[in-house]
Structure 1
Amino acid sequence: MIILFHVVCLQVFDLFDLKRNGVIEFGGFVRSLSVFHPKTPKSEKTAFAFKLYDLRGTGYIEKEELREMVLALLDESDLYLSENAVEAIVDNTFSQADSNGDGRIDPEEWEEFVKANPASLRNMSLPYLQDITMAFPSFVVHSEAHD
Structure 2
Amino acid sequence: MQELNFSKFPFRFKNSENKISIFDCIRKKFVILQPEEWVRQHCVQFLIKEKKYPQSLINVEKVLKVNNLSKRYDIVVFNSDGTIHLIVECKAPQITINQETFDQIARYNLVLNATYLMVTNGINHYYCQMDLKNERYQFLESIPEYKK
**More helix per residue:** 1
TM-score, structure 2 as length reference: 0.29
TM-score, structure 1 as length reference: 0.29
Q: Which has the higher contact order (CA 8 A, sep 6+)?
A: 1
Structure of higher CA gyration radius: 1
**More strand per residue:** 2
